[in-house]
């Protein structure tokens, strides 16, 4: 699984992240054979269409658990000025903006602090409560998206009046206890994944999952769990980094599909690529088949949203691949 974070559904187990790189290219043209062949009583069999550009198909029936970005805070250190500053960041941040930030770092090789500073200025983030005081430590997970979000939080918190240090501190198993203890003050987190992490921590390994496709309901569960371990939360951003399913832009255009439901209606005989556990996970192949009625003819074992899956998509080896919704490879320019 991808090192940066576990999907909430994978972490929960009962409901059931690889480095970003430039996608490979096998050319942008369609295959020489017909792209689709119809069979009686079934959707046409749609062949993969190579293309360098990937697009995510909308999860219009809400198969995936929400994983919006949310600032997690050591509750004893929380102050109104701190919450307001973090809310100011969340209010501007949507998934396209997060994709662009990841592109700047993962593809264009800017530092996280450079990418964050440019976005902070372009987005016109304004911190109106400057009454904050004291030292704040913003923690970051050991992957670039978390580091960039941490730098964004730091900029807003400095404008609010705090003396801020940004500290990279490893994976969730390392930084979450540090956040509880107060060694860290703020960490950028993901709603669904953290909900299930705390759910298992508070309620035990057999706890029923609390994260869902409903953002408001999942945030409510997260806040309740946070109260039990000394954490509180600012507002979630619209930006999300969750499991998603992509095709090439050329395939989407050829078959006029933008949602998973439209794909199911238009195409059969699909070749799906993703992590080895995909055929056994409800959020992956079984969910795509049961929720959407997708006709998956073949599964190719690759990785979880990583370079193998993206390369297989762009080169036309697979039709549909599991990616992450904020991946830099989804940038459109």
- Residues 313, 332: Cα–Cα separation, whole Å: 16
Q: Is residue 88 part of a domain?
A: yes
Q: Is residue 9 part of a domain?
A: no
The helix (run of H) or strand (run of E) holding residue 114 is helix 112-122
Residue 286 belongs to domain with CATH number: 3.40.190.120
Residue 130 belongs to domain with CATH number: 3.10.105.10
53 CB-near residues (< 8 Å, 6+ apart): 248, 249, 250, 332
Question: Based on the domain organization, do 208 and 246 belong to the same domain?
Answer: no
Phi and psi, residue 7, nearest 5°: -60, 145
Question: Based on the domain organization, do 197 and 250 belong to the same domain?
Answer: no
Query: What is the reported pLDDT for 31?
Result: 38
Using DSSP bridges, classify how beta strands 42-46 and 267-268 pair: parallel, antiparallel or unpaired.
parallel
Q: Is residue 87 part of a domain?
A: yes
274 CB-near residues (< 8 Å, 6+ apart): 284, 285, 299, 301, 302, 303, 304, 309, 321, 322
In percent, the amount of the chain with pLDDT more than 70 equals 87
Contact 7, 243 (CB under 8 A): yes
Question: Based on the domain organization, do 79 and 93 belong to the same domain?
Answer: yes
Q: What angle do CA 191, 194, 195 make, to 5 degrees?
A: 80
Question: Based on the domain organization, do 165 and 180 belong to the same domain?
Answer: yes
Question: Based on the domain organization, do 278 and 219 belong to the same domain?
Answer: no
Query: What is the reported pLDDT for 199?
Result: 97
* Domain final residue, candidates 187, 204, 233: 233
pTM of the model: 0.86
Query: How many folded domains does the chain comprise?
Result: 2
Query: What is the reported pLDDT for 35?
Result: 45
Question: Based on the domain organization, do 310 and 246 belong to the same domain?
Answer: yes
Query: What is the reported pLDDT for 78?
Result: 98
Q: What angle do CA 283, 62, 233 make, to 5 degrees?
A: 90
SS3 239: coil
75-102 exposure pattern, b = at least 16 Cβ within 10 A, e = fewer: bebbbebbbbbbbbbbebbebebbbbbb
Question: Based on the domain organization, do 251 and 145 belong to the same domain?
Answer: no
Question: Based on the domain organization, do 269 and 311 belong to the same domain?
Answer: yes
Query: What is the reported pLDDT for 43?
Result: 79
Question: Based on the domain organization, do 81 and 155 belong to the same domain?
Answer: yes
Question: Based on the domain organization, do 141 and 156 belong to the same domain?
Answer: yes
Q: Summarize the confidence of residues 28-37 as an average pLDDT.
A: 40
Contact 140, 101 (CB under 8 A): no
Helices 80-90 and 144-159, axial angle in degrees (round to 10) = 130
* Domain final residue, candidates 233, 250, 285: 233
Which range of residues forms the domain containing residue 124?
69-233
Q: Is residue 3 part of a domain?
A: no
Average pLDDT taken over every residue of the chain: 89
Question: Based on the domain organization, do 319 and 261 belong to the same domain?
Answer: yes
Q: Is residue 12 part of a domain?
A: no
Alpha-helical (H) ranges within 160-296 are 172-181, 191-203, 215-229, 249-255, 260-266, 285-292
User: In Å, what is the CA distance from 194 to each residue of 25, 65, 188, 214, 312?
Assistant: 36, 12, 10, 15, 30
Question: Based on the domain organization, do 312 and 176 belong to the same domain?
Answer: no
Q: Is residue 299 part of a domain?
A: yes
pLDDT tier at 42, thresholds 50, 70, 90: low
Q: Is residue 14 part of a domain?
A: no
* Domain final residue, candidates 213, 233, 253: 233
Q: Is residue 138 part of a domain?
A: yes
| pLDDT of 36 over the 70 cut | no
Comparing 186 with 21, which gets the higher pLDDT? 186
Give first-to-last CA distance, the chain, whole Å. Answer: 28
Q: What is the torsional sign of CA 188, 192, 194, 195?
A: positive
């Amino acid at each position: 699984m991808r090192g940066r974070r576990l999907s909430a559904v994978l972490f929960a187990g009962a409901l059931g992240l690889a480095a970003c790189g430039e996608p490979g290219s096998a050319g942008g043209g369609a295959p020489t054979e017909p792209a689709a062949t119809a069979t009686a009583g079934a959707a046409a069999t749609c062949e993969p269409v190579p293309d360098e550009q990937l697009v995510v198909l909308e999860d219009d029936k809400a198969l995936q658990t929400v994983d919006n970005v949310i600032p997690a805070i050591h509750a004893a250190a929380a102050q109104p000025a701190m919450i307001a500053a973090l809310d100011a960041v969340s209010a501007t941040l949507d998934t396209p903006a997060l994709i662009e930030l990841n592109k700047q770092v993962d593809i264009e090789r800017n530092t996280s602090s450079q990418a964050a500073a440019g976005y902070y200025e372009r987005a016109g983030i304004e911190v109106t409560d400057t009454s904050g005081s004291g030292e704040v430590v913003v923690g970051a997970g050991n992957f670039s998206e978390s580091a960039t979000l941490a730098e964004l939080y730091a900029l807003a918190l400095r404008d609010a009046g705090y003396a801020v240090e940004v500290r990279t501190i490893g994976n969730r198993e390392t930084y979450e206890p540090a956040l509880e203890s107060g060694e860290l003050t703020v960490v950028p987190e993901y709603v669904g994944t953290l909900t299930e992490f705390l759910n298992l921590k508070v309620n035990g390994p057999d706890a029923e999952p609390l994260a869902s496709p409903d953002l408001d309901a999942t945030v409510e569960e997260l806040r309740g769990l946070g109260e039990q371990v000394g954490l509180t939360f600012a507002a979630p951003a619209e930006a999300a980094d969750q499991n998603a399913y992509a095709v090439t832009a050329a395939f989407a255009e050829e078959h006029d599909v933008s949602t998973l439901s439209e794909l199911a209606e238009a195409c059969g005989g699909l070749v799906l690529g993703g992590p080895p556990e995909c055929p056994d996970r409800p959020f992956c192949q079984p969910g795509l088949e049961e929720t959407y009625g997708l006709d998956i003819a073949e599964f190719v074992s690759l990785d979880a949203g990583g370079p193998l899956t993206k390369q297989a998509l762009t080169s036309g080896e697979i039709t549909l691949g599991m990616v992450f919704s904020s991946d830099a490879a989804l940038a459109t320019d």
